[in-house]
Amino acid sequence: MTLLEKLRCLFTFGQGVALPLAEVPPNATPHALFKQWFEEASQSGILLPEAMSVSTCDSSGQPSSRMVLLKDFDEEGFIFYTNYGSRKSQELVENGKVALLFHWNVLQRQVRIEGTVEKVSPQQSADYFHSRDRGSQIGAWASKQSQQLKSNDELKERMAHFQEKFQTGEVPHPDFWGGWRIKPHHIEFWQGRASRLHDRICFDKTESGWNNYKLHP
């Protein structure tokens, strides 16, 4: 965050400040538009504009949602990192369809993304893993994410074990931890307007690129 963004975040308690409503250009692409909206959310002073809801389904069709942090995005998709043994990862293995939701309340904006997933390369996962602080790296080894704790002390004991094990030198990247890339085929940009006549601009991916259209609010 820039100094101005940090000040806005501080003085608004992370709620951000409203920015002027912008019109969506007719020739906009979903990647360019998301980049613009994400930058404006960051500039507003919202705390953690990268927070997004990830919704998955298990093999029976039961959906579940949770908040994670977007770590990177480009024209290929949206990336977050997690334990590959977690519930969300297991559901992504069973059913590769996924939905994301960004909600920036002060800007009256949300972005809905639907697509499929793939794992990022082991090297990309390792590079990001080693960019994290050492405590988070050791925590990734200690946590059996989404598994039931055997006792209240189990996590503390595992943390102490791996702190001692990796007391010196580089913490190795565990092969059970890495990134997922959401490859979108549908993206909706929602801009709140007066009288609830909101703008809903949708993009559908085709073999030749992206088609866009508007929906009734």
Q: How far is CA 211 from CA 20, 48, 89, in A?
A: 27, 30, 30
**d(Cα 112, Cα 185) in Å, to the nearest integer?**
11
Active-site entry in 8, 87, 193, 196: 196
Interatomic CA distance for residues 25 and 33, integer angstroms = 9
Catalytic status, residue 196: yes
* Residues identified as active-site: 196
